[in-house]
Structure 1
Amino acid sequence: MQKMKAVIIGASHAAAQLSVSLRQEGWEGDIVMIGDEPHLPYHRPPLSKTFLSGDKRIEDLLIRPATFYEKQQIQFLHGHVVLIDRERKVLNIADGSQISYDKLALCTGARVRKLNSEGSELQGIYYVRNAADIAAIQQHIQTAKHAVMIGGGYIGLETAASLRKQEIQVSLLETAPRILQRVTAPELSDFYTRIHQEQGVSIYNNITIERFIGATQVKGVLCTNGKTIPADLVIVGIGVQPNSELVQAAGIDVDNGIVIDAYGRTNDPDIVAAGDCTSHFNHHYQRQIRLESVPNANEQAKVAAATLCGKSKPYDALPWFWSDQYDIKLQIAGLNHGYDQLVIRGDLQNSKSFVAFYFKNKQLIAADCINRPLEFMISKRIINDNIQIDPAHFADESIDLKQLR
């Protein structure tokens, strides 16, 4: 009997985990991973941190070395898939070649949102998504004096912190009234504003770009309020969107991402998906969501691999995230969407160690933990198990949270 072939489109966190999990779940056939980049799968979060700052090389970021994939008989193919033929179970590659599959895994990830302002094609304007982006920025940093960071989300703040570490002047522009508005409470926005201003970052909220100034090389940013901010380096971090066009063209259901069920299955029984490109119904929060996080990518990949091997292991992971800026590690448990009460544990105003607990109907739904790893672990347990605890207890540091579980 001929062994079956599993093909994975994509080569980031989800793809790397899915290939490994296939072997762990007993897949004996061929495994082929197709990636757009020439690199083996590598860790993405350090790109805006230790990789940008020059502390790490791309070789240091590899999720697993080449020898591992060779030993597991996982083939890596550098190429770009342009068409999925579900009837023939064939993939068309951009170079004109084709590859067949018996089972297909979609780990297509997401791409950066681009600016379309006048001058956005000038030299010196970069995005933060892959190793090539950061390598280009690193070359530019050597002569840069003043950088403008566009976007006040976590990527923008992490990048700003890395640039300040290299003593580059940084101005951060955010269209919303406050940084991190989409993902955290005003109190956390105020905290991170204070931290970055203390490090010398100039933050401009409620500001919109009119155009970029320069002939061939960017020289500055003109804002709609008439303010001009000098810049010989511009980095844009205004979010991402799922890579789902190829999949949608093949007749796979898409709704702000590739729609999957609790087992990672698409509407094609031979095709699964995992990672930033997917949309799933999350039972913790009772709504359809698309998550951009490494933990989610890894957990979905494990589930999808089990499904391809004929096993049923439903996805049941609580969303969690992290961010490193300066000497601050933020660990986030859960999603705070729809919270109606915020409880602070610790000194938010004067310290770099506290927790913001988010409640909805007196039930803990999320926690932002600043340099508080113990509270992060406890929060995950409380949220995951729907443990009922009086919100007032969380604010009292004389109460050991371990006793509240």
Structure 2
Amino acid sequence: MAKDFYGELQLGILGGGQLGRMFIQEAINYNVNVHILDPDKNAPCRKLCNHFECGSLSDYDTVYNFGKDLDVITIEIEKVNVDALEKLEEEGVIVYPQSRVIRLIQDKGLQKQFFKQNDIPTSAFQFISNVDSLKTANLSIPYVQKLRKDGYDGKGVKMIRTEDDLSKAFTEPSIIEEIVDFEKEIAVIVARNDKGEVKTFPMVEMEFNPEANLVEFLISPSTYSFEIQQQAEELAKKIANDLQIVGLLAVEMFLTKQGEILVNELAPRPHNSGHQTIEGNFTSQFAQHMRAIFNLPLGDTSARSNAVMINLLGEEGYEGLAKYEGVEEVLRMDGVYIHLYGKKYTKPFRKMGHVCIVNADRELAISNARKVQEILKVIA
């Protein structure tokens, strides 16, 4: 890079939520000047960055003007104006992950095509342009319908289990996928820098909230066989290299009951499935992302200990100024680390924070995490 890394580079992040907040905490250690663009004037990053701008992430002029005087731009959410990022790249601003990668991953249909073209195992799928094409689909009910664009944290996903569910189906362009009879949902986070160095974090096991359809409980490292873990990690490396991505890539997968691994979705940024790395690994996902986008040597991803991550979600029936119950009680437990995201208002299933529970005894880490789930609540 043209400037010395330590203390002079101007880094822009599109999105000022909890991922940006945790990334800033790492960037501070290297004196990186962080600029944030977010549409919410009360975004969690607003008081932590060097410069905060309230504005639309999807508006061309806003994104272009935000980034034109910066050295490096990265993202914490995929829903951004890619045309503006392409223009900034043409003018010499470094954008990682690259705009072409973001454009592909923004569209779940293009993701699926990428998997097919690169021999990456995934579930059977079909493109759907409108409701009428659902009625003549080649895939038989039941199946999963996903909006091609703008879905996140379980939004933009519907289960079509019976003919009656077609009346509630999405009308926008979407894909339908064969329902996978999986044993476990797993994930691997992989990092790649511009030198082509690639490293994966150990495979993790996930449990999802059935109502909100987002990660509720995560266990690291996995206790599945070495062969399964190696297969998942090699698959993540292949995807990173096929994409030639620079930065972090979260690869969400299904492990079927037959022992087959199928790739579900990609996220080109720090991810909910990697929060446990802050306390549980020698290098956190946020430190690794910073190393990758600044083309520094990638860090040691080994696990320090067993780590369980639980999301703190807004409780059902509560909406308004956030209030946290049970904080003192869970802090009396050994190995409990609370991360609150600085969100002023709560609502049902909103991500308000996470807790990491570490212990040399895996079963004790899991049982302590279950206790934290019962005790710590976000109400209003």
Query: Between Structure 1 and Structure 2, which shows a larger proportion of helix residues?
Result: 2
Q: Which has the larger radius of gyration?
A: 1
Normalised to the residue count of structure 2, the TM-score between the two structures is 0.34
Normalised to the residue count of structure 1, the TM-score between the two structures is 0.32
